[in-house]
Amino acid sequence: MLIHMTDSNNSSTKGVLDSRDSGAPQDLLSGGQHNFFIANALCSDKPEAIFDLLEPPSFSDEPMIWGQLDDDGTLRLFLAPQTGDKSFPFAQLDNFRQSLELFAQGQDSPGGSGNLTRSNVLPPDINWGLSP
């Protein structure tokens, strides 16, 4: 599953997160946490240009972003070297549960809007969408 984050005023500016696991929708829908990685080749620019990836935290290899749905269906994402560390908010994607449920059933999901905490080229107000 891929999460595409785009500038709400310019859809050609995008950052993409890759779950690297087909079980991501079920993990998240069942209340679990899931790890994502920046899909370098799919971003409109270098990840460091798109997102603020400056320390803290520090990584031995590529940055990891983990996420979990909250009670209102928002996906809360965190930049962290360990799953579960909520010290460094990355983004919140509003109304994510509804789109994820449709996506898990193989239907088109509407996507939505959200807020990127660690923004650079992408502004704080973003749009998001899902793809396989």
Residue 64 pLDDT more than 90? no
Rounded Cα distance, 84 and 132, in Å: 25
CA 12 – CA 25 distance, rounded (Å): 26
pLDDT of res. 63: 83
**Once rounded to an integer, what is the mean pLDDT over residues 56-73?**
83
Residue 18: which of 31, 32, 5 has the closest Cα? 5
Of the pLDDT bands very low, low, confident and very high (cuts 50, 70, 90), residue 60 is low
Q: By mean pLDDT, which of 25-39, 56-70, 95-109 is the weakest? A: 56-70
Say if residue 56's pLDDT is above 90.
no
Which two tokens mark 54? 């400056």
- When the pLDDT of each residue in the chain is averaged and rounded to a whole number, the result is 92
Question: How many domains would you assign to the chain?
Answer: 1
Please give the helix or strand (H or E) that residue 98 lies within, else none: helix 96-104
Residue 65, domain extent: 2-131
13-40: pLDDT as tens digits: 999 999 998 889 999 999 999 999 999 9
CA–CA separation, 46 and 122 (whole Å): 12
Confidence of residue 75 (pLDDT cuts 50, 70, 90): very high
What number is the average pLDDT over the span 49-73?
Answer: 85
What is the band of 66 on the pLDDT scale with cuts at 50, 70, 90?
A: very high
Query: Is the model's pLDDT at 44 over the cut of 90?
Result: yes
Please name the residues in contact with 93: beta carbons below 8 A apart, sequence gap of 6 or more.
3, 5, 74, 75, 77, 112, 114, 128
